[in-house]
Structure 1
Amino acid sequence: MRLNKREIDAIRSAVFSFDPGARIYLYGSRASDHLTGGDIDLLLLSNKISFADKISILTEIKRLLGEQKIDLTVKTHAAAEIDPFVTSILAGAIEIG
């Protein structure tokens, strides 16, 4: 995994301020020590986070980490169970919160 403790803590802080019960997954190139790529791909599973919250979370993460590309996908727990996109993400993702 190519995120350091400060980056993980910033992501957790931003997400958990909206939903302490959310599950946070890192996927894509940053989930692997062997791949290159600079963006941070995150999947949040939450029944509470709205679209407006998603924008606020992205803003807070960028404030804490500096400007960088972050892809943030938010799905409900129920949708995650039937969504093939989420299933494919979870197969190679790392839970960070």
Structure 2
Amino acid sequence: MRLSAEQISHIRAVIHECDPEARIYLFGSRVDDHKKGGDIDLLIFSKHLTERDKRRIRLRLYDRLGPQRIDIIIARDLSRPFVRLAYAEGVEL
């Protein structure tokens, strides 16, 4: 996984400020140690987060992690095919 312990800590803190029960998964190219670059793809399972929360999370992560592309998917369950795919390849943070 190509995130530092500090980056993981910031991601958890920011998301758990909005929903302490959220489950967070990193997926995409940052999961593969052999790849270079790439955005930070996050899958967040939450019954409480809204699109407004998603924007707030992205802004706070930008403040803490610096200028990086961060893609966030918020899901309640595994009913959507893309969520199932991201979950299958993801690593829980």
Q: Give identity over the alignment, percent.
A: 42
Please identify runs of 4+ aligned residues in structure 1 that moved more than 6 A: none
* Partner residue, 1:31: 31
Superposed displacement of residue 83, structure 1: 1.2
CA distance in 1, matches of 2:85, 2:7: 24
Q: Secondary structure at the match of 2:78?
A: helix
**What is the TM-score with the length of structure 1 in the denominator?**
0.91
CA distance in 2, matches of 1:81, 1:93: 13
Q: Secondary structure at the match of 2:18?
A: coil
* Partner residue, 2:81: 84
CA distance in 2, matches of 1:68, 1:81: 27
- Aligned CA-pair RMSD: 0.9
- Gaps of at least 5 residues in structure 2 are none
Matches within 5 A, 1:1-97: 1-76=1-76, 80-96=77-93
CA distance in 2, matches of 1:17, 1:41: 19
**What is the TM-score with the length of structure 2 in the denominator?**
0.95
Superposed displacement of residue 10, structure 1: 0.6
CA distance in 2, matches of 1:58, 1:74: 12
AA of the residue aligned to 2:4: N
- Count of residues paired in the alignment: 93
Q: Secondary structure at the match of 2:43?
A: strand
- Gaps of at least 5 residues in structure 1 are none
CA distance in 1, matches of 2:40, 2:54: 15
CA distance in 1, matches of 2:79, 2:48: 18
